[in-house]
Structure 1
Amino acid sequence: MSDQFSKVSALLYEEAAALDEQRWDDWLALFTPDVEYWMPAWDSEHELTQDPTSEISLIYYSDRSGLEDRIWRIKSGMSSASTPLPRTCHLVTNIRVGAVVDGLLQVKANWQGNAYRHEKTDSFYGSYTYGLREEQGKLLIARKKIVLMNDTIPSVVDVYNV
Structure 2
Amino acid sequence: QRYEQWLDLFTEDGYYWMPLVHDQQDARLHASLMHEDKLLLRIRVERLAGRRTFSQQPKSRSHHLLQQPTVESMDEEKGEYTVRCAFHYTETRGDNQDIYVGWNTYTLVRQDDALKIRLKRVDLLNCDAPFGNIQLFM
Unaligned runs of at least 5 residues, structure 1: 1-21
Q: Hey, what does 1:50 align to over in structure 2?
A: 25
Find out whether 1:38 has 2:51 as its counterpart. Answer: no
Q: Hey, what does 2:94 align to over in structure 1?
A: 118
TM superposition shift of 1:64: 1.1
Task: Give the distance between the partners of 2:7 and 2:103, measured in 1 at CA.
Answer: 20
Task: Give the distance between the partners of 1:60 and 1:78, measured in 2 at CA.
Answer: 24
- Structure with the larger RCO, 1 or 2 (CA within 8 Å, 6+ apart): 2
TM superposition shift of 1:127: 0.3
**% identical aligned pairs:** 29
**Which aligned segments of 4 or more residues in structure 1 are displaced greater than 6 angstroms?**
none
Normalized against structure 1, the TM-score is what?
0.74
Number of matched pairs: 135
After superposition, what is the alpha-carbon deviation per residue over 1:86-144, rounded to whole angstroms, capped at 9, x for unaligned? Answer: 11000110411132256420101101111111122211110011111121111111111
Structure number with the higher strand fraction is 2
- Residue number among 40, 49, 53 corresponding to 1:75 in the alignment: 49
SS of equivalent residue, structure 1 residue 85: coil
Unaligned runs of at least 5 residues, structure 2: none
Structure number with the higher helix fraction is 1
Q: Hey, what does 2:120 align to over in structure 1?
A: 144
Task: Give the distance between the partners of 1:60 and 1:115, measured in 2 at CA.
Answer: 20
AA in 1 matched with 2:5: D
TM superposition shift of 1:28: 0.7
SS of equivalent residue, structure 1 residue 70: helix
Find out whether 1:158 has 2:135 as its counterpart. Answer: yes
SS of equivalent residue, structure 2 residue 67: strand
Normalized against structure 2, the TM-score is what?
0.85
